[in-house]
Structure 1
């Protein structure tokens, strides 16, 4: 596959075999030049009832952590993603967590706990 990437001058990303690997390689090359790193990672964080909720978004997948424990993961390149998890409160009643990620130029993250949206001003973003 590496030979394909090096020898290809004008790739047709939609129809060529290995296009996904080409896109990944070009994205990593671009990020290394612009940001000094191979992978773009955006982290969204919030706290709910004393529990730390963290959503990691990278080029090739998303992860949902609750109190440091991985609860859901998507692998692959997508414009939209949904992650789900559970949050145990003090009365040990589980609350459902749903995370919606999406966007093209700018990734947005919405966190729902038992179908109630956490206001965006309560979600911190770091890179």
Structure 2
């Protein structure tokens, strides 16, 4: 949504650009909308303030991004999310950080599903 494209993705980009994220960090978006990384890039990149000299680094950043569409209250969606994250470097052994930019009405369902399906091993 609006918060992701204007604030979250640009902030993660700045951390990546400045070398403040661990080397093997991957960013996985999850929401109900059916999007691609190209869609996310098109919507958020204007807010990055990236310079022409940062073009290669920007490509590397987006190569570390992926997206999974799913429902907030559907356990199978979170199992798909977990399978996707397990396929990334270090899989289930990786540290995972979940940032929830959600309406309060779905927090319970989302945190329950994350806890049951998506925690590091």
* TM superposition score normalised by structure 1: 0.27
Q: Which has the higher helix share?
A: 2
Q: Which has the higher strand share?
A: 1
Relative contact order, higher structure (CA 8 A, sep 6+)? 2
Q: Which of 1 and 2 has greater Rg?
A: 1
